[in-house]
Structure 1
Amino acid sequence: MANLLSTGISGLNAAQVALNTVGNNITNVNTPGYNRQTVLQTENISAPGGRYTIGSGVNVDSVQRAYSQFLTSAVWSSNASMQGATTYNSLASTLNSTLSASGNLQTALDSFYGAFSTVANTPGVASSRQSLLGSATAAVTVFNTLGQQLSAQQSQVNSQISGTVNSINSTASSIAALNAQISQAGNNPPNDLLDQRDAMIQTLSGYVGVSTVSESNGSISVYASNGQALVSGDKSYALSTGGTAYDPTRTDVYDATGTDISNKLSGGNLGALLNYRSSVLDSVQNQLGQSAVALASSVNAQQAKGMDLNGKQGGAIFNMPSPTVQPSSANKGSGSVSASITDVSQLTSSDYVMSYDGSQWNLQTTSGQAVPLTTNADGTLSAAGLTFSVPATAQAGDSFQILPTRQAATSLAVTMTDPNGIAAAALLTSTAASGNTGTGQIGSVTVQDASNAALTSNATVSFPSASTYQVTDSSGNVLSSGSYAVGQTISANGWSVTPSGTPAANDSFTIGLNSNGLKDTSNALSLAALSNVGVLSGGSQSVIASYAQLTTNVGTVGSQAQTNLTTQTALYNQAVSSQQSVSGVNLDEEAADLVRYQQAYQASAQVISASQTIFSSLLTAIQTA
């Protein structure tokens, strides 16, 4: 009777454990990260002996999770991609909204260039000139607003990077603590702790891409996408944030040894933040700054080729933004590099690092591409439209980061306040001598070098013979001379002329300040034509075209980000579906198991009852014998 009783009790216990497990599954059907649990039962081994063997009941070996490491790892991986895509799409959408909400720069530029045409039509009307300065201010305001909004997003991204790293460290610490508890459990797997640890790892994967390695003691080691250990056993390794060697306001990520790993991290929110900042936001700020520099440079240069209403050479309408130079915090030498923009047509949207190796200076982009430097006669260095003055006291290893246009849109400003300063007229004109006998004529005088000190000084172009020319200043000094052929360009004092027709011997022309400045509007028309004149990219791209390209690029980034988010969300949902097909709780299955184990419990109770009845019958028989 004892065997029958113990057999019934083992069945009763097994059914009770199974019922509790099913009940736990049902109550956790909506618990995130919960893995369905199942009871592992084995037949109780009977002691050997006798002519035959009768089973002695059932053992409950363990309660296991319905779990697939492969499918769970796939969920973590797809979660990292989806969270990264979500963050990237949010940032790209904000950028698109920024360009829209800050005003239409293209419209402002069209109005500004169009205002020069209005001045050309009404050169003496003060309101037209004042309106032009107003249009210039409106365009600058849009540039400034866009620049400030982009700078604000830089600050936002830096703050998010710091917050995400704090979350990574906190989650990694929690995983390490769970590892310690799970290792102490030994061979009896603590399913609730395992579920919590998996949930923590999934949370961590949303912050940064991770990989995992299962250890023999039940713990899991977790590594970031660059191979940096975040968790090993019961220890976690915190990341940190801080400024770069060149810019203390720019947040980068450092490992436990203090090494900058920002460009090695990928996946999750952190990877998306770092990737967006370096590949999109920095580039957009630089491209917008390029447009601002191109606007200021081209308009100011054309202004200098004209005469204003006060009879003077045209002055600058805009300030010319300067490059930002940031010395490395590790520099040992004294002095600093100064940089200026000298050829806007060669300017790019790249940032650079200039370093000194002890014997010479080297330049490369921040992505590591070498840029050849040219040494000028005055000792300065030039490359990519920039000119650098370097300190003589630099030491080997010193370096400087050059941001040619990063802050240009924010710093652009209108410097002209006097409407009469708009140089609508040509600066120079030519006057034929009254005694000329040939058919030679000189039309417009082209200003080649507006900075030439003798540009506005009177000069005479004469032809000693039909095949020779000579240029003299007002004192009779010869500035240039030589043979002459029809259609040849003659230059001096920063200007050039191309006579037409055939001059006769002793014909001459006087080159001097335009005496008809109030009625001449040729330079205003040239200023208006700048809307279509190539300024950037080797002189092939206008200011308006460069901004149109910028908006197209930003739109493309936004579209690609949205498409990628849709794709990554679908892949994540698919991975979760596959994982849940193994680990998820199905209420129909649990209901069926509930009935099955309930019946097993009742049947085992009947076995115990039968054992008791037989035992009672035996006692009765013995007592009556």
Structure 2
Amino acid sequence: MADLLSTGVSGLLAAQVGLSTTGHNVSNVNTDGYSRQQVSFGARAPQAEGRYYVGTGVDTVAVQRAYSQHLNAALWSAASSKGRADAFQGLTDQLNNQLSGSSNLQSSLDTFFGAVQDMANAPADASARGVLLARAGALASTFRALSGQFGSLDGQVQRQLTDTVASINSDSAAIAKLNERIRASTGEQPADLLDQRDALIKKLSGEVGISVASQSDGTLSVFVGNGQALVSGTQSYELGTAQNSYDATRLEVVDKGTGAVLSGRIGGGTLGALLDFRSNVLDPAQNQLGRAALAMADAMNAQHAQGVDLNGQLGGDLFTVAGPAVQAASSNAGSATLAADIDDIGALGNQDYVLSYDGSAWGLRDGSGATVAMSGSGTAADPFKAGGLSFVVGGGAASAGDSFRIQPTRNAAGSMAVAITDPNQLAAAAPLVGSAASANTGSAGVGALTVADGSDPNLFAGSSIVFASPTSYSIDGGPAQTFTPGTPIEHNGWSLTLDGDPAAGDSFGVQANANARGDNANALKLGAVANLGVLDGGATSVGRAYGQLVGQVGSAGALADEAAKTQNAVFNQAMAAQQSVSGVNIDEEAANLVRFQQAYQASAQIITAANTVFNALLGAFRG
């Protein structure tokens, strides 16, 4: 009878474990990261009774979680991709909103050139001139505002980098502590601690791309980048942020222990998205905006210098804008300095450069690390030239490993301003007029007449050009000069190009514009700057440069939106697959409750039967 009682008690205890586990599952149906737990039972060793064996009950073998390492690894990978895609989409959406918001540059450009046309229609009208000056100020303000918004977004990225790194360090430390508790557990590993660790790893994978390796002692090691450990056994290793070697206001992600920069090696998760967005979307957008500002200022200033204002003075700069920024590496040991200027805006690209010294020669690389060919020797008389830029190395001697980063356009938009405040200084008129004598017999006519040197004191002095033959001319009775068709005639700071072929005896005159107050010749040319090819070797206008900016940001945004949709779908599929194994099914748990409840009741009946038989035996002996 004692065996029957023991059998009943074993069944009662097994059913109790089953009920407790089922209740635990039901209670955690909404717990993120919880894996359904299952009870395993095994029959006790039977007792020999002569020629046969009698069963002795049941043992609870294990309480284990329903788990698939493969599905969990797939979920972590999907979480990393989703975290990156969601963060990248949010950032590109902000950038697109900035470009299409109240500081829309295209609207400001259209309004500005509309005001230029109004001045061309009434060049002497003070009101039209005042409006143009105001529109020029508004255009410069729009460039600055957009640059400021880009800068604010860059600051947001900086703050998010710091916050994300702090969160990664916190999660890594928590995983290491759970590793310690799991390793210290005896027997079967605790399912709830394993779930907590997996949930943290999933969260961590959403913050940064990671790889996970299982160890023989039950711990998990977590790595980021190209093998940088975040967690190894019970030890966690922190990431940190440090100043960029060229720009102290810019943060890079580093290994806090060694200081090694990890920014270029981190992918996936929110941290990867922040670094990728900053390097591949925001920085190029800032550069392109600055490139448009430089093109606008250069083209307008060049044309404005070709006119005269109401005071009879040649036009000065209409806009001011900052040139290339040069940043010395903080590790430079030498005393060399570097100055950079724009040499050819038509060849100016949309990227930054690094000029470095290897101990014997200087070399230039672009943002991708590709070598860029240079001409020149780097002196003031013979500067290095590449990518539309010129570089002059000065100061003392450079040391091997010294380098400088050049940002040709990064700060241009944020510095743009109007250079004049007096509407009368707007140069709407042509300073000079050219004329062909009525008695000329050749087919040549006055073509382009431009100012080549505004500082020449004889610029406005009248000049007469007389051709002794179709290939020879003299100016103001001076020595004979050779004429080549298509080659400008230059004198007293002006440059004249003839259309057609002159004949012997033909003459042409260049005089100061006597009708400068009512003339609009230069104003019309200022208006033509809207469609003038300035960048990319004359192929890209200011408006098109801005259109390229909108296009590249819009394209990045569209790709980010598609990536976010795709990665969310992949994540949902991975989650569904993982939950199909590990998730709690309420209907199944309800059935288990009934099953274990009935088993409990049946085991209780066995105990009752054992008690009845035992009492009957006692009664028989008393009788």
Structure 1 and Structure 2 fold alike (TM over 0.5): yes
Task: Give runs of aligned pairs for residues 603-622 of structure 1, distance below 5 A.
Answer: 603-622=602-621
Aligned to 1:345: 346
Whether the 8 Å contact between 1:308 and 1:314 is mirrored in structure 2 is yes
CA distance in 2, matches of 1:592, 1:501: 101
Deviation at 1:623, TM superposition (A): 2.6
Task: Give runs of aligned pairs for residues 382-397 of structure 1, distance below 5 A.
Answer: 382-393=385-396, 394-397=398-401
- 1:424 matches 2:425: no
CA distance in 2, matches of 1:507, 1:591: 110
Partner of residue 400 from structure 1, selected from 404, 416, 435: 404
- 1:354 matches 2:355: yes
Aligned to 1:98: 98
- 1:81 matches 2:81: yes
CA distance in 1, matches of 2:364, 2:492: 35
Aligned to 1:329: 330
Q: Which moved more, 1:47-56 or 1:66-75?
A: 47-56
Q: Which moved more, 1:421-430 or 1:493-502?
A: 493-502
Whether the 8 Å contact between 1:307 and 1:423 is mirrored in structure 2 is yes
Task: Give runs of aligned pairs for residues 230-245 of structure 1, distance below 5 A.
Answer: 230-245=230-245
CA distance in 2, matches of 1:94, 1:357: 41
Describe the superposition over 1:232-272 as per-residue Cα deviations: whole angstroms up to 9, x where unpaired: 11000101101110011111101232111111111111011
**Residues 468/570 of structure 1: CA separation in 2 closer, same or farther (3 Å cut):** closer
CA distance in 2, matches of 1:220, 1:455: 84
Aligned to 2:267: 266
Partner of residue 381 from structure 2, selected from 361, 378, 381: 378
The 3-state SS of whatever aligns with 2:340 is strand
Q: What is the one-letter code of the residue matched to 1:67?
A: Y
Q: What is the one-letter code of the residue matched to 1:391?
A: G
Deviation at 1:320, TM superposition (A): 3.0
Deviation at 1:483, TM superposition (A): 4.8
The 3-state SS of whatever aligns with 1:570 is helix
Aligned to 1:574: 573
Q: What is the one-letter code of the residue matched to 1:267?
A: G
CA distance in 2, matches of 1:204, 1:504: 84
Q: What is the one-letter code of the residue matched to 1:428?
A: L
Deviation at 1:59, TM superposition (A): 1.1
Q: What is the one-letter code of the residue matched to 2:189?
A: P
Deviation at 1:567, TM superposition (A): 1.5
Q: What is the one-letter code of the residue matched to 1:398?
A: D
Whether the 8 Å contact between 2:42 and 2:59 is mirrored in structure 1 is yes
CA distance in 2, matches of 1:365, 1:11: 75
Can you give the 5+ residue segments of structure 2 that lack an aligned partner in the other structure?
Answer: none
The 3-state SS of whatever aligns with 1:45 is coil
Deviation at 1:360, TM superposition (A): 2.0
Aligned to 2:161: 161
Whether the 8 Å contact between 1:5 and 1:608 is mirrored in structure 2 is yes
Whether the 8 Å contact between 1:301 and 1:450 is mirrored in structure 2 is no
Q: What is the one-letter code of the residue matched to 1:564?
A: A
Deviation at 1:461, TM superposition (A): 5.4
Aligned to 2:468: 465
Deviation at 1:557, TM superposition (A): 1.9
Q: What is the one-letter code of the residue matched to 1:390?
A: V
Aligned to 1:63: 63
Whether the 8 Å contact between 2:321 and 2:413 is mirrored in structure 1 is no
Deviation at 1:490, TM superposition (A): 3.1
Q: What is the one-letter code of the residue matched to 2:52?
A: Y
Q: Which moved more, 1:313-322 or 1:170-179?
A: 313-322
TM-score, scaled relative to structure 1: 0.94
- 1:318 matches 2:319: yes
Q: What is the one-letter code of the residue matched to 1:410?
A: G
The 3-state SS of whatever aligns with 1:163 is helix
CA distance in 2, matches of 1:566, 1:464: 74
CA distance in 1, matches of 2:473, 2:542: 40
Whether the 8 Å contact between 1:455 and 1:495 is mirrored in structure 2 is no
**Residues 437/555 of structure 1: CA separation in 2 closer, same or farther (3 Å cut):** closer
Q: What is the one-letter code of the residue matched to 1:511?
A: V
Whether the 8 Å contact between 1:307 and 1:514 is mirrored in structure 2 is no
The 3-state SS of whatever aligns with 1:396 is coil
Task: Give runs of aligned pairs for residues 173-188 of structure 1, distance below 5 A.
Answer: 173-188=173-188
Deviation at 1:106, TM superposition (A): 1.0
Deviation at 1:323, TM superposition (A): 1.1
Q: What is the one-letter code of the residue matched to 1:163?
A: D
Whether the 8 Å contact between 1:463 and 1:504 is mirrored in structure 2 is no
The 3-state SS of whatever aligns with 1:375 is coil
CA distance in 1, matches of 2:131, 2:445: 34
Deviation at 1:77, TM superposition (A): 1.1
CA distance in 1, matches of 2:97, 2:161: 22
Can you give the 5+ residue segments of structure 1 that lack an aligned partner in the other structure?
Answer: none
Aligned to 2:510: 511
**Residues 623/404 of structure 1: CA separation in 2 closer, same or farther (3 Å cut):** same
CA distance in 1, matches of 2:68, 2:440: 102
Q: What is the one-letter code of the residue matched to 1:287?
A: Q
CA distance in 2, matches of 1:9, 1:484: 117
The 3-state SS of whatever aligns with 1:186 is coil
Describe the superposition over 1:116-164 as per-residue Cα deviations: whole angstroms up to 9, x where unpaired: 2222221111111111111111111111110000001001101100110
Task: Give runs of aligned pairs for residues 185-224 of structure 1, distance below 5 A.
Answer: 185-224=185-224
CA distance in 2, matches of 1:520, 1:332: 59
**Residues 181/488 of structure 1: CA separation in 2 closer, same or farther (3 Å cut):** closer
Aligned to 2:522: 523
**Residues 442/312 of structure 1: CA separation in 2 closer, same or farther (3 Å cut):** farther
**Residues 307/42 of structure 1: CA separation in 2 closer, same or farther (3 Å cut):** same
Describe the superposition over 1:459-510 as per-residue Cα deviations: whole angstroms up to 9, x where unpaired: 74544522332344x7x665x711556x664344554323356655455434
Deviation at 1:4, TM superposition (A): 1.4
The 3-state SS of whatever aligns with 1:115 is helix
**Residues 471/421 of structure 1: CA separation in 2 closer, same or farther (3 Å cut):** farther
The 3-state SS of whatever aligns with 1:75 is helix
Deviation at 1:401, TM superposition (A): 0.7
Deviation at 1:41, TM superposition (A): 0.9
Identity over aligned pairs, percent = 48
CA distance in 1, matches of 2:520, 2:338: 42
Describe the superposition over 1:293-314 as per-residue Cα deviations: whole angstroms up to 9, x where unpaired: 0000000001111222221211
Whether the 8 Å contact between 2:448 and 2:498 is mirrored in structure 1 is no
Deviation at 1:444, TM superposition (A): 4.4
TM-score, scaled relative to structure 2: 0.94
Aligned to 1:286: 287
CA distance in 1, matches of 2:11, 2:31: 30
Aligned to 1:556: 555
Q: What is the one-letter code of the residue matched to 1:242?
A: A
CA distance in 2, matches of 1:338, 1:311: 36
The 3-state SS of whatever aligns with 1:391 is strand
- 1:138 matches 2:138: yes
Q: What is the one-letter code of the residue matched to 1:388?
A: F
CA distance in 2, matches of 1:162, 1:171: 14
Supply the RMSD in Å over aligned alpha carbons. 2.2
Q: What is the one-letter code of the residue matched to 1:359?
A: S
**Residues 483/215 of structure 1: CA separation in 2 closer, same or farther (3 Å cut):** closer
CA distance in 2, matches of 1:308, 1:442: 27
Q: What is the one-letter code of the residue matched to 1:611?
A: A
CA distance in 1, matches of 2:175, 2:599: 39
CA distance in 1, matches of 2:83, 2:611: 63
